[in-house]
Structure 1
């Protein structure tokens, strides 16, 4: 405990780190405050009759409750994430975007500008659906046409403001701003979910509640292991004589992560899981449409989770293939005088890395799919839906990843100022550290 308080003291004794932490807290407070400001012209007491359950509850968890409150941040940062995913896929498939990606800082600025314009378009499209589906007519207190136009403008402005907050956190705060906004929305629902679960169990179910907390602890530890696990490939650098000095000859390693794609396969799969509901809406008068709608509107049904898990397996291999390029790694090694012991530089190195990547991606994708569908098993075991969402899925992986990244950044500040790190042995390893390596 003494070491913990000493670490906290060291953190706040570094002026730059202290200012960044306070900035982050301030920006997050602004974000949470905005999530409680209801759209003008909406009666909050009449919102209960809007669309709820299933997918809507899941979205509400990601957005920290602002979705159900019809707030000015009702769509949050999600349209920006959707736009970023689209642009990232385009950089793989479209030559124009590939060229921009290789142009350095100017290309990056151009991609950022395109992403922002696409965010506005996606927010406008999603905003229209949100107003039509989630806000009942009786909750609107003035002209429906004027309300639609005004609310669309406010929702677009709210999303762009959230995007701006995320960028400010990244620049002036600590951690990745966009990820922070998602995490704070998820965590804001966590205390209420625990209290609700505890009240539901009561004194008679106290033992079951304790078992649920223990199970949650082990699930979190398993998710940390999945996030941190990496296969190290040893590298040897050739020795070079420059003048009278000998350079190189050191040994290093390439850390290939077991889950190199992070949470992206779950996000991709979840985006596609909205398609069955759209199909059901087109065939709503038929028995097939009614069956599809009722089955895939429930994120805890076995049909939903079977398709969801298979999509995660496919997208894990797909996203790993577009983010980790063995040919680029082999070329960089050859260019810098590095080689894998026993493997020839060039094509054989690329094939060796590709084989290793394939072998570790399969168990990683299976484990990721299991973590993603764990909330369904928790519901089947008697855990309430709100609390079950923290037993796995996107929520848990995002929280673990963001917290590890933030702790790693804080630890790097401590070590740069010659303070002891946050752990007695080893280091806090976030995704950014492994990516940099």
Structure 2
């Protein structure tokens, strides 16, 4: 079967499934609602002056902030804060579950505990939204000619508008997760990335038409993006199989084997989102502080893409959150106990502590590989686009920068090719992984409906599998 026929068959299957079709339509309607919010601006702001202000802030972490807001921050729409407060709150709550025993117990209580933790996350999100919206409001008020309203009217109006917008974005994301297809928060970030594709195409076409050298650079960039996309797909589908044997079934199925598939990148795109949000939080305060504030100037200088300190902290954050998130979602002791409970074991290992230690050893190794993979995917496009400002490295920085910048063949290593943040590895990673995850969830739901007897699918009865045929009786 060709690829076109396979895609056609999938579309027909989706249209024939009321559940999957309804969930997809609901997801699209929620994303449309989110995108409509970008056209509703906070009143009292001069958009021309705001556009000039953002141009002066290019090259900083404003690109990260705008990425998670889906482009709403640059126009100060009602969704300007995006989902950044929610992500930050999730990070804080997840970290607190490790140090606070009561939250740890809630996490282990199943669905009831999960809902309680989600409620705490919502409360913290509103508090952070009020804080961040207040900082943004006073920053806008301090810019000459940017605000047309009086402070007594503009400040409360902006804080209420931005906080309400964040609450609505949080609600939309949760609704998509529960009633739609895919992870709602990730899909909202994905939607903000996808809408930028027309601008990317325009930029590429203009670069190709300028001169042969620019055209060659654009072609090489496209090849790099395709290679990175292929690498992402390959690693996201890769897993490390752990052989499992079932003691109770050996006599019944002597030649059968099962595997515990451990994904190479078990944490997905979560470490990248967490690390980016964590870096964006202090720069939010610095970006909206007074221009004469020395601390704000230092943060703006050091925490910017292409700065060695930023890249180092970003990479360390990805590695930390990779291990942290894997430890949360995959408890080796719980898996070991479940294997022993069902009479299963790993060949050559005793059930219990030995199995848990072996699983911990395997998971640690694949998590190292997954964390390095995420770091490379995020660093390479940023390095190609903006280079690495090695001049900020102590002692040898100035000499290294002058040596590389004076060489025409190597100058791009410190200056980059000058492309925008659209080609960042974070954007590419989120777009590809969210697409794959959503497609897998659609496939899983279609497969579930196929084997659902109530829906006319395959019915399993004992060892016999037969197809239920409806005769209209």
Tell me the TM-score normalized by structure 2.
Answer: 0.79
Match of 2:425 in 1: 392
1:378 aligns with 2:387: no
Which residue does the alignment assign to 2:331? 325
**Segment drifting more, 297-306 vs 354-363:** 297-306
Output the CA distance in 2 between the equivalents of 1:340 and 1:326: 13
Query: Paired residue for 2:464?
Result: none
SS in 2 for 1:232: strand
Larger Rg: 2
Q: What are the Cα deviations for residues 111-131 of structure 1, in whole angstroms up to 9, with x where unaligned? A: 222111111001111111222
Q: Is the 8 A contact 1:237 1:250 kept in 2?
A: no
1:205-261, Cα deviation, whole Å (9 max, x unpaired): 3333222112101111112223222211111111169xxx96999532222222222
Assess, with a 3 A threshold, how the Cα gap between structure 1 residues 63 and 238 changes in structure 2: closer, same or farther: same
Report deviation, 1:276.
7.2
CA contact (8 A) 1:295 1:304 kept: no
| Equivalent position of 1:415 in the other structure | 447
User: Normalization by structure 1: what TM-score?
Assistant: 0.85
Structure 1 residues 375, 113: CA separation in 2 closer, same or farther (over 3 Å shift)? same
Q: Is the 8 A contact 1:64 1:189 kept in 2?
A: no
Residue in structure 2 matching 1:224, options 207, 211, 233: 233
Confirm or deny: 8 A CA contact 2:311 2:379 kept in the other structure: yes
CA distance in 1, matches of 2:286, 2:80: 25
Q: After TM superposition, give the deviation of residue 283 of structure 1 in Å.
A: 12
> What is aligned with 1:93?
99
Asked whether the 8 Å contact 1:237–1:248 carries over to 2, the reply is no
2:342 corresponds to which residue?
336
CA distance in 2, matches of 1:355, 1:49: 53
Question: Does the CA contact (< 8 Å) of 1:50 and 1:134 recur in 2?
Answer: no
CA contact (8 A) 1:235 1:339 kept: yes
Q: Is 1:24 aligned to 2:40, yes or no?
A: no
Q: 1:152 is matched with which residue: 154, 159, 181?
A: 159
Gaps of 5+ in 1: 420-437
Counterpart of 1:267 in structure 2 is 273
1:170-229 deviation line (CA, Å, top 9, x unaligned): 233222212111110121123212312331342523333222112101111112223222
Q: Distance in 2 between matches of 1:270 and 1:165?
A: 22
CA contact (8 A) 2:88 2:278 kept: no
Q: Which runs of 5 or more residues in structure 2 are unaligned?
A: 388-411, 452-473
**How many Å apart are 1:142 and its aligned residue?**
1.2
Q: How many angstroms apart in 2 are the aligned matches of 1:290 and 1:111?
A: 34
CA distance in 2, matches of 1:83, 1:177: 16
Residues 38 and 44 in structure 1, CA contact (< 8 A), matched pair in contact too: no
In 2, are the aligned partners of 1:226 and 1:258 still within 8 Å (CA)? yes
Provide closer, same or farther for how the CA distance between residues 314 and 110 of structure 1 changes in structure 2, counting only shifts above 3 A.
closer
**1-structure distance, mates of 2:35, 2:47:** 17
Cα deviation, 1:386-435, whole Å, max 9, x if unaligned, reads 2x543412x2222222111111122123334549xxxxxxxxxxxxxxxx
Paired position in structure 2 for 1:215: 224
